[in-house]
């Protein structure tokens, strides 16, 4: 049996970074390199229907090993792409064995350190083995750890037929990091009654709530005149963008929020005096507050347009996904199984909201209730990403136990 760690290291060596605003699906062809490898590995394990479709989705079925009626078909899903925020090329993982609680040197040449005073989650893993980056790329635990954990759990179940389980559906998706992970996913063909994405963070975490999300694109039309003769003529699109941003609540920015607090996040702003563009994401767990945030942004745009006497800001505001809680709560057994599985392997469940989105949020609204389980990773999307090896091993145990509990209820 291959260890989950062996699989993880193999998968992170394959660059699968997705990109925004692509004209193809998946957004990058290199994601298919991992997809093809996973199909081969699933087939080698004996899952004869393992295949990749025309959109890059990898699916497979682990048949039930019991003959009982009423056993639900469950799905395990993870995404293959890594974030556009930092390179996933030439990932060079480092193993920090028996971590002593001190500062970790990620890259001595570049002076990149990881201090537990700045990254306090490190303090939870004194005495454990950590996998870190070399300070030049992200690690890829989001979500190749999830893929490795699913693959290891499938292999374990095949090698231990004494553990009863129903039919298990496996799904690996592209482009989750750019919000398009399930754009073409066929829920009906997948055939699960409910599912879990393995795409969370800290060990023990299980999540059935996520943000309601919208994206806003603003185009600001300025007027450029030579600055030497611009009095009462120039209209600086960049300054108008700054003026608009100051109309939004300062303490509802990501750097001032946590837990159930939503935010406005300006993550792209550029252009010239003549024309500028701004891109926001708007997030809130509460649907009413989410709608209020969108309304306030619209009012800010209206105010600026009224102030300048014409429509100088164009706003395109689009909802992206919604809080899965409304779709998962009517099926309490899904969370109950996950919580009891986590407890059964000796962990304390951490039920907290996703401060982001997962494929599961959209799948839940497509008719497949899909809460989110931990991978064990921390500080995703950047060079400080790390994952404890024992957390990955525990994640495998949880998946195996979920399969058993779902079959023996």
Residue 355, CA atoms < 13 Å, CB-side half-sphere:
14
Q: What angle do CA 135, 373, 402 make, to 5 degrees?
A: 135
**Can 183 be counted among the known catalytic residues?**
no
**Residues 349 and 336 sit within 8 Å (Cβ to Cβ):** no
Annotated ligand binding at 193? The verdict is no
Given CA atoms 364, 292, 206, 171 in this order, what sign does their dihedral have? Answer: positive
Which among 84, 77, 82, 86 is positioned nearest to 58, based on CA atoms? 77
Annotated ligand binding at 85? The verdict is no
Strand partners, 114: 104
Contacts of 225 (CB under 8 A, 6+ apart): 233, 234
Residue 186 phi/psi, 5-degree rounding, is -95, 95
**Residues 35 and 52 sit within 8 Å (Cβ to Cβ):** yes
Q: Which two tokens stand for residue 56?
A: 């890059």
Of 41, 149, 155, 176, which one is the catalytic site residue? 176
**Residues 16 and 80 sit within 8 Å (Cβ to Cβ):** yes
Annotated ligand binding at 79? The verdict is yes
Of 81, 149, 209, 252, which one is the catalytic site residue? 81
According to DSSP H, which parts of 325-388 are helical? 325-328, 332-344, 359-365
Q: How far is CA 257 from the centre of its chain?
A: 19
**Can 159 be counted among the known catalytic residues?**
no
Annotated ligand binding at 221? The verdict is no
Annotated ligand binding at 199? The verdict is yes
Q: Pick out the residues of the known binding site for Zn(2+).
A: 79, 142, 177, 199, 381
Catalytic residues: 81, 176
């Amino acid at each position: 049996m291959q260890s989950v760690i062996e699989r993880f290291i193999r998968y992170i060596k394959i660059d699968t970074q997705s990109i925004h605003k692509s004209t193809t699906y998946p957004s990058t062809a290199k994601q298919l390199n991992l997809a093809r490898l996973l199909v081969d590995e699933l087939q080698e394990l004996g899952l004869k229907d393992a295949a990749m479709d025309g959109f890059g989705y990898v699916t497979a079925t682990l048949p039930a090993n019991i003959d009982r009626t009423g056993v639900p078909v469950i799905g395990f899903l993870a995404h293959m792409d890594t974030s556009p925020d930092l390179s996933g090329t030439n990932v060079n993982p480092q193993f920090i064995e028996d971590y002593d609680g001190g500062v970790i040197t990620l890259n001595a040449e570049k002076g990149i350190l990881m201090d537990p005073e700045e990254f306090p989650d490190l303090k939870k893993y004194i005495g454990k083995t950590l996998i870190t980056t070399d300070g030049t790329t992200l690690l890829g635990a989001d979500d190749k750890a999830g893929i490795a954990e699913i693959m290891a759990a499938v292999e374990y179940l095949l090698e231990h037929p004494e553990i009863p389980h129903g039919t298990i559906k496996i799904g690996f998706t592209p482009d989750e990091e750019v919000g398009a992970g399930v754009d073409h996913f066929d829920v009906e063909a997948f055939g699960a009654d409910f599912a879990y994405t393995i795409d969370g963070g800290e060990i023990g975490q299980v999540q059935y709530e996520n943000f309601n999300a919208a994206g806003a694109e603003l185009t600001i039309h300025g007027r450029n005149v030579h600055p030497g003769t611009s009095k009462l003529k120039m209209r600086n699109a960049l300054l108008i963008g700054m003026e608009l941003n100051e109309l939004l609540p300062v303490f509802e920015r990501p750097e001032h929020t946590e837990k159930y607090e939503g935010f406005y996040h300006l993550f792209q702003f550029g252009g010239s005096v003549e024309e500028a563009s701004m891109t926001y994401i708007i997030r809130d767990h509460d649907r009413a507050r989410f709608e209020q945030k969108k309304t306030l942004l619209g009012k800010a745009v209206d105010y600026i347009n009224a102030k300048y006497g014409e429509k100088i800001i164009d706003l395109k505001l689009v909802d992206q996904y919604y809080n899965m809680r409304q779709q998962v709560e009517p099926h309490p057994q899904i969370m109950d199984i996950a919580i009891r599985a986590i407890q059964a392997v000796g962990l304390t469940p951490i039920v907290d909201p996703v401060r982001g989105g997962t494929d599961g949020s959209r799948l839940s609204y497509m008719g497949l209730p899909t809460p989110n389980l931990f991978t064990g990773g921390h500080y995703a999307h950047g060079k400080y990403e790390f994952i404890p090896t024992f957390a990955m091993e525990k994640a495998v145990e949880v998946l195996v136990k979920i399969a058993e509990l779902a079959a023996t209820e």
